């Protein structure tokens, strides 16, 4: 199950790595669009846009339904949640590291008496 989650997250980030696919998501976030309507906004063929739509479908970011000859696309915002959670986890991790670095620098640069830094002995025969 975890491997499946990782594979799905990889598909989402792969899909989001393309500017045209992100634009397709922006457009479908506001309203349901046909592939033809989406293609009108790009300097590429209908077939190329359809391939981008397929990548977004495979990542479950886009739902495509067929009504007669028309393929309608709409954003599935819930599919973005794992990517958002992954990014938030990384953001929290790095913000914590930066906060500790800031505190250390403030303590180091603060005026006033300082306590000597503790040095450790190097192990005999060990190089730096």
Q: CATH assignment of 2-78?
A: 1.10.10.10
Q: Is the pTM of this model over 0.75?
A: no
Average pLDDT (21-26) is 96
Distance between CA atoms of residues 77 and 61, nearest Å: 7
Q: What is the pLDDT of residue 23?
A: 96
47-91: pLDDT as tens digits = 999 999 999 999 999 998 999 999 899 999 898 998 899 899 999
Task: Supply the DSSP symbol for 72.
Answer: E
Average pLDDT (117-126) is 60
Q: Which one, of 14, 27, 91, lies nearest residue 59 by Cα?
A: 14
């Amino acid at each position: 199950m975890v491997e499946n989650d990782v594979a799905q997250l990889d598909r989402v980030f792969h899909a989001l790595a393309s500017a045209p696919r992100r634009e397709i998501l922006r457009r479908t976030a506001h309203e349901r669009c046909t592939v033809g309507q989406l293609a009108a906004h790009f300097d590429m063929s209908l077939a190329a846009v359809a391939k981008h739509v397929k990548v977004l479908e495979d990542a479950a970011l886009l739902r495509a339904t067929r009504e007669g000859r028309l393929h309608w696309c709409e954003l599935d915002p819930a599919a973005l949640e794992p990517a958002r959670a992954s990014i938030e986890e990384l953001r929290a991790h790095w913000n914590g590291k930066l906060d500790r670095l800031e505190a250390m620098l403030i303590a180091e640069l603060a005026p006033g008496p300082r306590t000597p830094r503790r040095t450790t002995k190097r192990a005999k025969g060990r190089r730096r």
